A and B are shown apart, each in its own frame.
Chain A
Amino acid sequence: MSALLDVEGLRVRLPTPTGFATIVDGVDYQVEAAQVFGVAGESGSGKTISMLALLGLLPQGSVVEGRASFDGTDLLRLGKRQLRAVSGREIGMVFQDPMTSLHPMLSVGRQLTEHVRRHLGLGRAAAARRAEELLAQVRIPDPASALHAYPHQFSGGMRQRIAIAIALACGPRLLIADEPTTALDVTVQAGILRLLDRLRHEQELSVILITHDLAVMSSLADRVSIFYAGRVVESGPRPEVLQQPRHPYTRALLDALPHPEAARDTPLVAIKGTPPTPQQIPPGCPYHPRCAYAVDVCPVEDPPLAPVNGRRLACHVDPFR
């Protein structure tokens, strides 16, 4: 079976005052139907940019290379109009902060119907019915009156539900959720994660879940990819990668988290140093200056992302094999 989304060799370079910066450097991944694909990594690792590139949402002058085949169509080869026709209907996106992604001056109903009228060609009344249906689907209480309300009248969690409803308006097959719960309380986060899980099962929706929180990823994702400095360093099925991480970076990310069973007063293990900026990616393996297991070859040669027992790993040393 071929994947719904098949990304190969994606490279993104963004213009900066000092020349081009390579933000995403050769990324491969596949997303299957009705699957949650988790993308994790620290801020600045290229997670978000690699998604925006698929939707043509990068700043002008950016250079995108590679292939991103969505149901057989290469998104990166489409013209602006064609891309909008595909991405508007088939791919929805949800951002971190629903306060900035929703328009503060337009009613919820207007923001929901705009989409379906444009892409599905529905009339006013039909669009309003569809909007009400969508709000009910994301469990907004009293959807009929919510249509006439404005974003500021809702709590953060409800706003994120509305943003998800808008992303689902045209019945997309893929939802890209970029840190959808980062700005929310744990209790509200749990509700949103459960909502995404339900949508995946009920509507066979594929979800790309971008997050820096491995605990969030662990609760929802089927497969995961760990990003570092614009590359994938480890990817594979969720239980394998999170229970037996093979890359030193994946292991370090997990060790930095407070563990429920850890003894009191054992310090958390922080990763030394900070992630590199796109202008100063170290040669060889980009993680080697922070890696406790680095050997002579690491600063010299960039390890390829190679298959090893059911997962893919980019590490010369592979210390946890």
Chain B
Amino acid sequence: MTSPALELRDVEVVYERRGSERVRAVAGASLTVERGQIVGLVGESGCGKSSLARAAVGLVRPAGGSVLFEGRTVEPLTRRGRPRDLARLQMVFQNPYSSLNPRRKVGSQLADALDALDLAPRRGRRARVEELLELVGLPAAAAGRFPHQFSGGQRQRIAVARALAADPSVLVLDEPLASLDASAQAQLANLLVDLSRRLSLSLLLISHDLAIVRHVADVVSVMYLGVMVETGPTQPLWSIPLHPYTEALIGAVPKPDGRGELPDALPGEVPDPARPPAACRFHPRCPYAFDRCSREDPLMLEVAPGRNAACWLQTGEDPPAPPATRARRLSLPRVEG
């Protein structure tokens, strides 16, 4: 049996600073990316999804839990070079304006990645750079230009090409679409799906844009205040969300249908991660919370085949009703802004 491409088990990320409180940005979160799978990770800002992404590639040292890349522990980055086989786990950052070097030509930035890993002999380098550019839909001539000569969408594709230079099997992308126009977003989203299918590349796509995640991901994980609240295959999760937070996130997405309907607002704010609410972390904002929610923390349990949720509504004492019946009960009241 082969191990998953990327496996995070009960990962904790803690930030400490002298004179301020200890912040558990990720408070025990688990996530699995199977080989060739596209997993979307969604949640509001401050929920810890970027911290989790950084832990996944070894940019921060987890305070607890483990990160496994193809069955091997991901050691956090130190001043020494990282082990060779970990180079096949790559990351793409949110802002292609700051992740690319403005003073160097695109071609030489891509060649750097090849050199660092000795992946292409000197003579084959140029051909490989052109091949990488072609993979992301850019002309070979792009190698001779500087980052500022490209649009935001093109720059993000260059950043993807640079990650691809290491011949990765897993890409972790932290909000890669956030700073782009709709059309550029569509292009990049199509490209990512295409690359994943063609190169059997596994993707962990972190985004706060649920509409695009819904379109791209095979599986979606929903994170709230440092913990996972729901995981499931994209389509069923979208049509029948099992966790009230997932439901609220989906209800808040505006629709471009011209009908003039306002999206549903979720009351309250994401609490301070330094002082999370006791028991279920979502209960102060949850429209369905009952007394148990403020007393006991719900565990993530398989509610239906392949569907996991951490919610007392789904795993309460009363005999579990089929998810669809329960979901019908969940219809959020509109909250005035």
Contacts and interface: CB of A to CB of B under 8 A. Distances in A.
Centre residue among B151, B209, B257 by max chain A CB count within 10 A:
B257
A270 B185 CA distance: 8
A198 interface: yes
Contacts of A187: 44, 248-249, 252, 265-266
Interface string A159-199: 00000000000000000000000000111111111111110
Interface in B37-83: 44-46
- Give the secondary structure class of A's interface: helix
Contact of B182 (A212, A238, A274): A212
B134 interface: no
Interface stretch (A253-261, A294-302, A312-320): A253-261
B253 interface: yes
B234 interface: yes
Interface string B178-196: 0001111111011001100
Interface in A244-278: 252-254, 256-258, 260, 262, 264-265, 267-271, 274
Nearest to A266: B215
A41 B184 CA distance: 13
Contact of A194 (B152, B211, B265, B270): B265
Given A157-B269, A267-B193, A257 B211 contact: yes
A215 B259 contact: no
A239 to B, nearest CB: 5
Interface of A: 42-43, 139, 155-158, 185-198, 212-222, 238-243, 252-254, 256-258, 260, 262, 264-265, 267-271, 274
Centre residue among B44, B183, B251, B264 by max chain A CB count within 10 A:
B183
Contacts of B194: 267
B256 A256 contact: no
B266 A260 contact: no
A79 to B, nearest CB: 37
Contact of B215 (A196, A216, A268): A268
Contact of A219 (B151, B263, B270): B263
A54 to B, nearest CB: 24
Nearest to B154: A274
B80 to A, nearest CB: 37
